[in-house]
Amino acid sequence: MQQAVEQFLNYTTVERGLSPNTLAAYRNDLTQLVEFLQNRDSSLQSHGSWKRVGTDALTAFVLDLHERGYSDKTKTRKVASTKALFGFLLEEGVVDKNPMEDFSSPGTGESLPETLSVEEVEALLSVGESDTPMSLRDRAIIEVMYATGVRVSELVSLDIDDVDLDESFVRCMGKGSKERIIPLHDEAVETVSEYLEDGRPSLAGNAAGRALFVSRKGGRLTRQALWLILKGRAQAAGIERKITPHTLRHSFATHLLIGGAPLRHVQELLGHASITTTQVYTHLTSEHVRTQYETAHPRA
């Protein structure tokens, strides 16, 4: 793959008379692209073929640029370098189509959603006392949100019966009353189990409700309360920027894509109707989604 990059750089240098600085920037951008693709799919290291690089992988690359905190100017340049490379590969017949054709520059239009790093998620989970009922609840909330990507309204609507810890999944009722089954990784199962055994009984008291997450008075947790919980834990974890429940949903999707999950699989897990208006919604079997989830999720 790097050989094709060098051919492109040689061609561009001759055709456009690139300055040494511009050439160095191109080489840096495209070397970073190759390394990302090969780290994401180890088979590309020995049998690299640009034909095997599709929209999913390139979407993950752009999301990774965003997560690394590059400026819009730098992200725009790196995307432009990638577009130019694929334009060259298409002209040379190395690829049959240009998967970068519909990509817009990160510095234009709507900005990408705010996300947390994996380390920041770990920090959110680790702060506070570990064995108090409220701490057990709060950690279970964050674990479930990051494990499933559910909306805040979906999370507070969950009942105990919606969680199957033996089969490791959550049953969620999304927009349009569409039910979806979302896998839970082992860490999330363990955390929720500990909350149900040692945390929820103390909080719920004699309350007869079946809400999964309850307040200190035993009632169903509200969206506003959840926002305050997340805000408090973010401050305790030293995360200074604004964090909302939707930030965890964005982080869930972003980390799965960077980890190798196809866009359509993530779309299904999020409960969206379609990837874009031009892409057909693809139903996936539960086992297919679970396999992709367990392969791609950082805590699975």
Q: Which pLDDT value is given to residue 273?
A: 61
* Rounded CA separation 142/232 (Å): 12
Catalytic residue among 68, 73, 175, 178: 175
pLDDT at 158: 96
The pLDDT score that the predictor gives to residue 283 is 32
The catalytically annotated residue of 216, 223, 272, 299 is 272
Task: Enumerate domains of the chain plus CATH numbers.
Answer: 2-91 (1.10.150), 118-296 (1.10.443.10)
Q: Please, what are the averages of pLDDT over each run of 10 residues along the chain (300 residues)?
A: 87 72 91 90 73 84 82 87 88 84 57 76 87 94 94 91 94 79 94 96 86 93 88 91 85 81 79 45 41 76
Catalytic residue check, 231: no
The pLDDT score that the predictor gives to residue 271 is 77
Q: Which residues contact 181 (CB under 8 A, 6 or more apart)?
A: 169, 170, 171, 172, 286
pTM summary value: 0.61
**pLDDT on residue 299:** 81
> Is-catalytic flag, 77?
no
Q: Residue 272 catalytic?
A: yes
Residue 281 annotated to the active site: yes
Active site residue 180: no
CA-to-CA separations, 283 to 138, 167, 253, 270, 289, in angstroms, rounded: 33, 21, 18, 13, 10
Query: What pLDDT, on a 0 to 100 scale, did the predictor assign at position 135?
Result: 94
Q: Is 250 designated active site?
A: no
